[in-house]
Chains A and B, each alone.
Chain A
Amino acid sequence: MIIELNQNIMDSNNSRADEIRKILAEHNLVMINIISSPGSGKTSLLEKTLGELGKNFRLGIIEGDVNTTRDARRLEGFGLPITAVNTRGACHLNSTIILKALDELPLSNLDCIIIENVGNLVCPSEFDLGEHAKIALSSVPEGDDKPQKYPLLFREAKCLILNKIDLLPYVPFDRKVFYKDIENLNPKLPLIETSCITGEGLDTWIKWITDFITTNRTPG
């Protein structure tokens, strides 16, 4: 006999993501999930963001790493609450991991939690973590073809950062191709160019994230 199930395969992950949304709402917290390839500059961007953003908001960090806690250690100097999550080889964070990580953060004393996902363009995009926004980070040396190759992330993201633009003169990266592909894939996606070396564009990014957190928190 044939039994119709019509069940979403991601149901168990999604229901835990709903639990996370409830916890975030109770604490009036905004959660951001940064996703990119390994080496595109997630930790560097955070190093350049946390100081400035920390002036307006009380921040907490969930630092995902496949192995080691090196990225978490890089951010220790900011004196912010950080939970280092080691996926022990798994290529993405899921809502169970985040739910546990939230337990270790002082939620009542925070305004915003930033998740640095495991470096990977495919798997992290699949998993709803209960976050308010996925932020995609792409970098110039990776090439201009990433949106075409990994469409899901660029569809799901609420903001896209093109990092390492200081390398534009040295590597073959066709800005027109990149911009055209993004316009086709997700015409409403804000695209911000940054360089963590020269500092270019960082003020635009910090303004975007400041506005996003403010809009998504209930005043008072």
Chain B
Amino acid sequence: MHEFSIAQNIVEILIQAVEDNRLVKVESITIEAGELRQIVPESLEMGFDALKTEIGSPPAIKDCRLNLVIVPQKVNCMDCHCHFYPEELCYICPDCGSINTEVMEGDKMIIKSIEGETD
């Protein structure tokens, strides 16, 4: 259940953004989670919903919807510079067989944006 800790971080960042931008209502928050992070969407949503309505949370976020976008992995071959999707979790370059590869996308968790209203 790392989703609950992640939801806590999301709500902390959200509350900060509400203050910074003087929002009175937040409609939605969009999260991009890399596939490699193995987020269970239902668990993240459950944690987020519990925290946003918790006593002490700003009323502006209580109806905020969580949009979760799962980002597939993209790997770069540092030898032949091709980009590939690791089929069956194989990170060896399918073109040249190199093991010098790095994950470019699909390994991070980012808050992309929030949609809200000011006064």
Contact = CB atoms under 8 A, between A and B. Distances in A.
Interface residues of B, number: 33
Contacts of B99: 187-188
Contacts of B107: 155
Chain B at the A interface: mostly helix, strand, loop or mixed? mixed
A11 B92 contact: no
Nearest to A7: B111
Contact of A3 (B17, B38, B88): B17
Contacts of B1: 91, 123
Interface string A153-187: 00100000000000000000000000001011111
Contacts of A1: 115-118
A183 B108 CA distance: 23
A91 B111 contact: no
Contact of A7 (B2, B5, B13, B89): B13
Given A12-B12, A123-B2, 18 more contacts: A1-B116, A5-B13, A5-B113, A7-B111, A8-B110, A9-B31, A9-B110, A9-B111, A11-B9, A13-B9, A90-B5, A91-B1, A126-B37, A152-B37, A155-B91, A184-B92, A185-B89, A186-B91
Interface of B: 1-2, 5-6, 9-10, 12-13, 17, 21, 31, 36-38, 88-92, 99, 103, 107-118
